[in-house]
Structure 1
């Protein structure tokens, strides 16, 4: 019998492959308005971790509480959150199967480890996890797919040496109070020349999270400055809670 997980995973991969490169960023003013009115943009638990003005400390506490008793895994189930499937499929499209086990990957904002679990299914076996929530990392450890667990908030002060990884990948780590927009340069620095930065996020955050209003111009400026080049930029359906997602893939130039 084919499992629900298999169908969702391969459905996400098919949707990712079917989209055209360089999709246009569509106007989402209605989504932005909903966010500015501080209405829930997902279910109640998800909203608690993305509420307007949330602090680093509140985020860590909220996620650690959410991770207890497997609540996060149950509530962010296969149907309502497909980010890990989409992100893993996107990276697999970029790297030949024979080369995947040699790629040293940082799963940034790893949460409970669902992305690492999906990456392992594609043959990526050399993965570290970074997350600010100790509770989430304890759940991630149970997946047995990570070489190292790093409990730290990611920003420009994160203590990871330059040129440490072949790939940095994010699914679900972007949001109100989450990974700051100005840490794009830090992401680029800790990835080796020729490596990849993969960012998968909810599309509406580009307009309803104040810190991300300049995210696209910052990405473009880094390309103009030849810090990285765009491999692909796509809009995907059903990223989370029936909301569209964005997949950004950049190749580091120096």
Structure 2
């Protein structure tokens, strides 16, 4: 199978457009991630995936070179975000959380994460409150993956003064019934002063010609 064919297969896992694709279960998705962990990065390159670089750039912008800043990379997979982040500076205190254990193993072997948490990220995830300086989520808010509601858990996890950085395909917030709630939730968090909305903007050519959405939240001190 060519790299492009493998990327096209990933697209079927990432994208849910109609009822037929809704039949891909969460278990099947995780199994596919685990089975294809070793070729994931090559396949994403075939789709011109700029998400990790965009996410890393935002993390570095706000962490301002604090190399010991504690970072949680949610749905981090093989650690692409942290790999890109280390091109800016030698950040050395990142942990990864992902349901696909084989993906996490690749990141761990490459020295990208200090600790790994092989679990789904939900409102019930057992990550302590106020425990990280920054939390990143790259390409994880998509149909059949993270639910919009977990943005509140993300905000709970970061310390006062900490950042939540979300990068995703913009069009998922336009048509998916659950992910349409994400931006209203973000604005509610800002309106109620639970978080500060630092950035919210659309970026071109996020992946495979699709626009991306960048959101950065900061917890008030």
Looking at structure 2, the residues matched to 78 and 50 of structure 1 have their Cα atoms a distance apart, in angstroms, of 16
Partner Cα distance (1:58, 1:210) in 2? 22
Q: Does the 8 Å CA contact 1:134/1:151 hold for their aligned counterparts? A: yes
| TM-superposition CA deviations, 1:2-54 (whole Å, max 9, x none) | xxxxxxxxxxxxxxxxxxxxxxxxxxxxxxxxxxxxxxxx8232222433434
**Cα distance change of structure 1 residues 104 and 163 upon mapping to structure 2, 3 Å threshold:** same
Give the Cα–Cα distance (whole angstroms) in 2 for the partners of residues 84 and 138 of structure 1. 18
Q: Over aligned residue pairs, what C-alpha RMSD do you find?
A: 1.6
In structure 2, what is the equivalent of residue 44 of structure 1?
A: 9
Answer whether contact 1:117 1:143 (CA < 8 A) is retained.
Answer: no
Aligned to 1:92: 60
Distance (whole Å) between structure 2 residues aligned to residue 78 and residue 49 of structure 1: 15
C-alpha separation in 1, matches of 2:14 and 2:179: 17
Q: Deviations over 1:212-243 (max 9, x none)?
A: 11111111111111110111112111111111
Per-residue deviation, 1:80: 1.4
Q: Normalising to structure 2: TM-score of the pair?
A: 0.89
In the other structure, the counterpart of 1:108 is 74
Counting matched residue pairs gives 209
Is it true that 1:174 corresponds to 2:141 in the alignment? yes
**In 2, Cα distance between equivalents of 1:155 and 1:222:** 18
Cross-structure match for 2:4: none
Report the alpha carbon displacement of residue 79 of structure 1 after superposing the two structures with TM: 5.9
Distance in 1 of aligned mates of 2:151 and 2:10 = 27
Residues 127-206 of structure 1 correspond to what in structure 2 (within 5 A)? 127-206=94-173
Select 2:30's aligned residue among 52, 60, 67.
60
With the length of structure 1 as denominator, give the TM-score of the two structures: 0.78
Which deviations, in whole Å up to 9, do the C-alpha atoms of 1:95-151 show, x marking residues without a partner? 322xx2121000111011111111122222210011000111112123212110110
Runs of at least 4 residues off by over 6 Å: none
Aligned counterpart, 1:215: 182
